[in-house]
Amino acid sequence: MSYLVLARKWRPQTFRDLIGQEHVSQTLQNAIDSGRIAHAFLFTGARGVGKTSSARILAKALNCEQGTSTEPCNSCSTCTEITAGTSVDVFEIDGASNTSVDDIRELRENVKYLPSRSRYKIFIIDEVHMLSTSAFNALLKTLEEPPPHVKFIFATTEPHKLPITILSRCQRFDFKRIPLPKIVDRLRFIVDQEQVGISDGALAMIARKGDGSMRDSLSTLDQVLAFCGEQVKDDDVVALLGVVDRRLLQDATRAIFARDCRGVLDIVRQVDGFGYSMRHFGQELIDQFRTLVILKAVGDAAELAELSPGELAELQELSGGVALDDLQRHLTLLLRADTEMAQSSFPRLVLEMVLLKMANLVPVIPVDEILARLQSLEKSGRGVVASGVPVWEAPRRRPEGASVEKPRPAVTPVAKASSAGKVPESDTPREAPAEMNAGSLNEVTETSGDWEGFVMFVRGKKPLLAALLEHGRPLQVSPRLVELAYESGSFQYNRLKDTEVMTDLSGLAQAYFHVATVFQLKPLSGNTEGLPPTLLEKKSLDQSARDVELREVAASHPVVAAALEIFDGVIESVRGGDEPEKV
């Protein structure tokens, strides 16, 4: 006698045997009870979830010799013939093989005749979406107004391919993917009846391989039994199915939570040694951390996570001491790594780096805890956290090395005299030296304030011209003579030598100093030691000195010192109260 596979041997024979489709079986039973039986049904859903089995059970319930009932007897000749597929009044048609309009015309001719023995003539068309458009059109009238002795039952995995005219003439039932715990329970019942020794963990692996399909799960179980016999070991199931061992996932999760860097690297070595795909292992880890997040967020996740009760209990123990925010951060890292592994030539390296990063991830301190610590500091008197007024303000000091402004006897009289329209003879410009040396620095009088003020004045009129002046070193600045040094061949030097630019600059200088001012440009050969800084360099030095001073004042403040001690932190940056926030 030929062997009958488990998927056929344990095929549901009553509505009670349908697993995971209670919404369909209950509706059909109520329709039979009330006599509201439609003439056309459409069963849709994924493969192996019970569509064709439900069609056969419905056909037996309608034609049973014991009378129309919610459950067929499965013992009369009509029920046994339908189960065996030999009934002359129940036609099972493969839609993929009978796609033409001629096949539908033959069906229409057959519809006219009364059933031979049964109560109804029933047509079950599997994969009905494979029919051609002409075949659907030929079926429309018959489907809309069939004879009272005819029932149509259509089954398909792709209902979107059916014309809307067909959909509107049928009662549609959507079959769901079967949850993993229900598949495991059904498999446990079957292996107990078959007297096979197998663990719940192995059954969970088989059910997960079925991906919500009872038929696929039973086919996989058949394959496992052919390999292992009547005593099935977990290692044999892992080796046969090529799935990632759950123990590796659990060990990887424990190593991450324990911050065991060597442990996570050893896990990757084992994954590579077993020949598993690195990306597939990463995806299994993603699913594992998704379940951990769900468990931490909602507690009871039996319906949300496709795991057996034993696996759920183990994951609940793992997630006990980990915060939800940390689990979400781990999950984000894994999702980013999955994208990188899809495009990387070194998936093992990507997996190793992400697991090391997860193992060294600093836990997030909740905001409530931070606020509580600050409030305790305030109450203890170690620091005062004010409401809106700053607790302290950094004093402003003059940067080191900056020159103190002194009275300028040569400039002030000129300015006063020029305002009266008289220019003293002593202020006539003198010729600039042909060569610059360190001694030329002595000729730079205390006129830096006038130079900064003049550049600010130019910025208000011509910002681009002011940008050129900021790069120059002011060797000498007076109302009648301004001597600037630039790097030889630089853009600023060449630009200021332009006649039009120099004319504009002279006009602005006369407007600022109220006298005719001569500008002289000196090229530098690279050595700037001993020369005055440019305005840009001066601003940078001033800002650096201010940052150092602010950092010292901030580090010495009691609130900041206490916060650094509590959180084991460091000062990254300091900003004064009058400075804009840096983005």
Tell me, yes or no, whether 582 lies in a domain: no
Give the 3-state secondary structure of residue 265.
helix
Residues 60-87 have pLDDT tens digits of: 999 998 888 889 998 999 999 999 988 9
Alpha carbon separation from 194 to 74, 230, 497 (Å, rounded): 22, 9, 100
Q: Indicate if 127 and 190 belong to the same structural domain.
A: no
Residue 511: pLDDT band (50, 70, 90) is confident
139 and 264, same domain (yes or no) = no
Residue 126 shares a structural domain with residue 233 = no
Return the axis-axis angle of helices 200-210 and 234-241, rounded to nearest 10°: 20
Determine, yes or no, domain membership for 569: no
- AA identity, residue 297: A
Give a yes or no: residue 575 inside a domain: no
Reported as a single tens digit per residue, the pLDDT across 249-268 is 888 999 999 889 999 999 99
* Residue 300 burial by Cβ neighbours in a 10 Å radius (0-12, 13-18, 19+): exposed
Give the residue from 224, 243, 262 where a domain finishes: 243
Query: Does 132 map to a domain?
Result: yes
* 190: CATH: 1.10.8.60
Question: Whose structure tokens read 């969970």?
Answer: 204
Domain count, the chain: 4
HSE of 23 in the Cβ direction (CA atoms, 13 Å)?
A: 8
Q: In what order do the strands lie in the sheet with 90-94?
A: 90-94, 121-126, 150-156, 40-44, 171-174
E strand residue ranges, 166-249: 171-174
CA-derived radius of gyration, the chain: 44
In a domain, 422, yes or no: no
User: What is the Cα–Cα distance from 35 to 15, expressed in whole angstroms?
Assistant: 17
User: What span, in angstroms and rounded, lies between the C-alpha atoms of 197 and 530?
Assistant: 92
pLDDT band with cut points at 50, 70 and 90 for residue 390: very low
pLDDT at residue number 324: 86
Domain boundary, last residue among 243, 259, 274: 243
The range of the structural domain enclosing residue 141 comes to: 6-176
Find, among 415, 421, 438, 399, the residue nearest to 542 by Cα.
Answer: 399
In this predicted structure, the answer to whether residue 579 has a pLDDT above a threshold of 70 is: no
**CA 390 to each of CA 349, 380, 387, 578, 580: distance values in angstroms, whole numbers, following the listed order:** 49, 20, 8, 11, 16
Are 192 and 165 contained in the same domain?
Answer: no
Do residues 21 and 64 both lie within one domain? yes
- 333 and 272, same structural domain? yes
Phi, psi (degrees; rounded to nearest 5) at 252: -65, -40
- Kindly state the DSSP code that residue 428 receives in the 8-state scheme: P
Which pTM was predicted?
0.57
Mean pLDDT of the chain: 81
Note whether 474 and 481 are within 8 A (CB). no
pLDDT band at 381 (very low <50, low <70, confident <90, very high): low
Q: Looking at the structure, do residues 92 and 167 belong to the same domain, yes or no?
A: yes
pLDDT value at 314 more than 50: yes
User: Residue 81 maps to which CATH number?
Assistant: 3.40.50.300
Pairing, β 473-477 against β 481-487:
antiparallel
Q: Are 441 and 310 part of one and the same domain?
A: no
**Terminal Cα-to-Cα distance of the chain (whole angstroms):** 80
Which of 106-129 are b and which e, b meaning 16 or more Cβ less than 10 Å from the residue's Cβ? ebeeebeeebeebbbbbbbbbbbb
Give the type of residue at 241: L
Final residue before a domain boundary, out of 187, 219, 243: 243
**203 and 154 within one domain:** no
Are 344 and 200 members of one domain? no
Strands lying side by side in the sheet with 481-487: 473-477, 481-487, 518-524
Write down the residue that tokens 């039009």 correspond to.
500
Tell me the CATH number at 307.
Answer: 1.20.272.10
222 within a domain of the structure (yes/no): yes
CA–CA separation, 231 vs 195, rounded Å? 9
Residue 3 confidence (pLDDT): 82
Residue 389 lies in a domain: no
- Do 351 and 289 share a domain, yes or no? yes
Position 539 in a domain: no
Other residues' Cβ atoms within 10 Å of the Cβ of residue 403? 10
- Do 156 and 31 have their domain in common? yes
